[in-house]
Structure 1
Amino acid sequence: MNPAPRVNVCPAHTAPALFDAVFVADPYPAYAALREEGRVRRVTLPGGVEAWLMTRYDDCRRAFLDTTSFSKDMAGSWTAFQEQRVPLTGDVVIGMGDSMLVSDPPRHTRLRALVAKGFTPRRIEALAPAVEQAAARLLDGLLSRTGELAGRADLTAEFAALLPMEIIRQMLDVPAEDGERLRRAVEAVMSNDEESREAAMAAFHEVHGYLAELVRRKRVEGGDDLTVALIEARDSRDRLSEQELVSMLALLLSAGHETTVNLLGSSVLALLRHPGQLALLRREPERWPDAIEEVLRWDGPVQNALWRFTRVPVQVGEVTIPAGEAVALSVAAADRDAERFFDPETFDITRGERAHLAFGHGIHHCLGAPLARLEARIAVPLVFARLPALALAGEPAYRPSTVSRALSSLPVTFVAP
């Protein structure tokens, strides 16, 4: 009998070593150090979840594609979760739905095909006028302020956090009065520190309960919205079950909101900090799509793609990750890997690079990526066109998260009319 493979287990970093306030403000030096240290590292995330963190581009890309060695089925593949040894932080709660996010083929293939019938390029492109109108309305509100508020704003709370929810709300036909409630619930689910554990679970149930009622209502009312499109989506006799519908809507709501909020804020901030790049865009506005792609690579909306679980022992360099372990793919680290990108720390909109992993890769590539790109392509240029002399008015703040790269505050000034 052959001996079992030797498992080289690195000691886990404690949470403060990687996820303290300095890291939250700028995680990239720590990610660079991890890339230099080795190809994979065992870490303890805030709230106590232990996982393996991959930080190099080639390793992350390979793991995205390897559905033989890695599973997305948390309940079926994560030993610690099965043994109830995992704290229910937000990043774990995200994986507790019944959507394609946490499914493997052939179930994932079935769900993705059904959902794609309602999430078509035509439906996304048709949203362009709504995005422009909603963005202009929000900016008009900022421009109309008087007194002490004139010429000042927090672009995260008063623009970036509002626009994506308005669009996804319209797509799903959620009443306007419920948009803010759902936005706050989604943000609570995405939190993952120990203090917010109970709030994350409560918000998870709130979102799913609300969407279950929405599905019941839309079955009766019908319509031309995404909710009805998913209800009606079928392949031969197959269609989404009630639970699959609710979980899919929850995924679209949370991912469609969170990812785009982060992309909008990071795009504005990157260009404010790189005035030469902004000047180039003013001279050559046809470069805006390239600018958005460079933001996605350089400071994208997702830090770590969650979760993969090893089906078998996986060898990464000199380290063997045992079967049944959680693995996070650090797209934030991978997209600044000098082995793949020339001068990766430099923000350069002329780079023309499309190989970043900001939206994942392979069969789990983000279905909502075209929507996020559409909103950023329209809204970010509008911010700079409508807010004269836009400038930072203090240091931006970030929301602690091991999943998202999420600005919690982006204070700016501009010339009031």
Structure 2
Amino acid sequence: MEHRPDPRAHLFTAGFVADPYPVYRTLRESGPAHRVTLPGGVEAWLVTRYEDCRRIFLDNTSFSKDMAAAWTAYREERVPVTGDVVIGMGDSMLVSDQPRHTRLRSLVSKAFAPRRVESLAPGIARSTERLLAGLTAREGPRAGRADLTTEFAALLPMEVICELLGVPAEEGDWLRRATEAVMSNDPGSRDTALRAFQDFHAFLGDHVRRKRRTGGTDLTCALIDVRDEGDRLTEDELVAMLGVLLAAGHETTVNLLGSSVLALLRHPEQLAALRAEPDGWPGAIEEVLRWEGPIQNAIWRFTRVPVTLGDVTIPAGEAIALSVASADRDPARFPDAESFDSARGDRGHLAFGHGIHHCVGAPLARLEARIAVPLVFASLPGLRLDGEPVYRPSTVSRALAALPVAFGDGAGPVTG
């Protein structure tokens, strides 16, 4: 019998961080679920196929989001604290089951209405143009060069979410670094992640207390005031909700902006088609979400009962990570799934989840990308790669740490 190496050996290595998709493909082909050890020592089951992931997103009977109630190892204090685990802490919708989740989602939906998101469009365009103008106005050695991650993609979403929540603009840089620390899986990140999580929530608690005194028309004040038949958010729920909105409004959008620019730089013929037919931009953003979405693995869910996927049975009380990055390249669902096709027109991806836990920040991320990505290419003529992109180690996000580019008349190299 031919010996086949265990593909799990390649998970979370440097090569995997740079390009995880060959490993995901091998895992998908070899079985529906795989017992894995995440960086930091957390044991979980990684589910890799589209239909299995979609089924689990929709099954709120067999699976729980509440780690304290459903994760046996967590209850028995056998789970090391890592960035992944920290994300599941708190008092938010992310770790709530029905009926509590329904209640929280209803309250935030009343305050975070579509018209509030759409009202941000003019400000998003102005902020995008200002940030890009700062890059084009450079002189000296950095003229015509930039890191689009740190000097654009990481800045715009935090400006937008701070405006939305009424957070002072000068706090944006600190909040961005705190969010990245919580999401990180760098070696030795557990203490940093936990401290950042605690500082983040302390800041938001102070912000809520300040807004109660001053009032305003921002989303924080709307969440303070929102009621449903007399029900309202508690102080802890309100702080946790703001934390979710900040994370959803920043991390996913940063990743989506960077991945969109990179995908189109590597597919210039499709970029040319979009420039000729601008109505195609929304579809192109959806294809980026499928092909190189902002989230790799939707963490966490926990089995309430034993669950069988194909020939694999997962016991009750186990942690589940849904690999949406793998699912969205499953050829059983998407023909020619490994290819980027901005005109694909199929919006059945799982990049923002599915079912009742669908990402509340998805409309904002889509809006920012639809506005900002075309402006990047319009404002930075001759945009091209100026070195190899670098990804941030994370089991949750697909996040560019650096996207070096050149633009204008300089002779920067084209790579990739």
The normalised TM-score by structure 2 is: 0.96
How far the C-alpha of 1:36 sits from its partner, in A, is: 0.4
Matches within 5 A, 1:23-38: 23-38=16-31
- Determine which of 105, 117, 120 is the counterpart of 2:98: 105
How far the C-alpha of 1:97 sits from its partner, in A, is: 1.1
User: Residue type of the partner of 1:397?
Assistant: V
Q: Which residue of 1 aligns with 2:38?
A: 45
Cα offsets for 1:231-269 (capped at 9, x unmatched): 111111110000000001011111210000000000000
Matches within 5 A, 1:150-169: 150-169=143-162
Q: Which runs of 5+ in 2 are unaligned?
A: 1-5, 411-416
Q: Which residue of 1 aligns with 2:178?
A: 185
Once residues 294 and 312 of structure 1 are traced to their aligned partners in structure 2, the CA distance between those partners, rounded to angstroms, is 35
| Pairing 1:369–2:362 present | yes
Q: Which residue of 2 aligns with 1:385?
A: 378
Matches within 5 A, 1:17-416: 17-415=10-408
For the 8 Å contact 1:40–1:319, the answer to whether it is kept is yes
For the 8 Å contact 1:14–1:44, the answer to whether it is kept is no
Once residues 211 and 388 of structure 1 are traced to their aligned partners in structure 2, the CA distance between those partners, rounded to angstroms, is 40
Q: Which residue of 2 aligns with 1:7?
A: none
Once residues 231 and 136 of structure 1 are traced to their aligned partners in structure 2, the CA distance between those partners, rounded to angstroms, is 33
How far the C-alpha of 1:211 sits from its partner, in A, is: 0.3
How far the C-alpha of 1:194 sits from its partner, in A, is: 4.0
Cα offsets for 1:6-31 (capped at 9, x unmatched): xxxxxxx7976311000000000000
For the 8 Å contact 1:298–1:347, the answer to whether it is kept is yes
For the 8 Å contact 1:61–1:361, the answer to whether it is kept is yes
Cα offsets for 1:212-245 (capped at 9, x unmatched): 0000010111100000011111111110000000
Once residues 74 and 174 of structure 1 are traced to their aligned partners in structure 2, the CA distance between those partners, rounded to angstroms, is 30
Q: Which runs of 5+ in 1 are unaligned?
A: 1-12
Once residues 271 and 343 of structure 2 are traced to their aligned partners in structure 1, the CA distance between those partners, rounded to angstroms, is 12
User: Residue type of the partner of 1:224?
Assistant: T
How far the C-alpha of 1:308 sits from its partner, in A, is: 0.4
* Identical residues among aligned pairs (%): 71
Once residues 22 and 224 of structure 1 are traced to their aligned partners in structure 2, the CA distance between those partners, rounded to angstroms, is 47
User: Residue type of the partner of 1:325?
Assistant: E
For the aligned residue pairs, the C-alpha RMSD in angstroms reads 1.1
For the 8 Å contact 1:14–1:43, the answer to whether it is kept is no
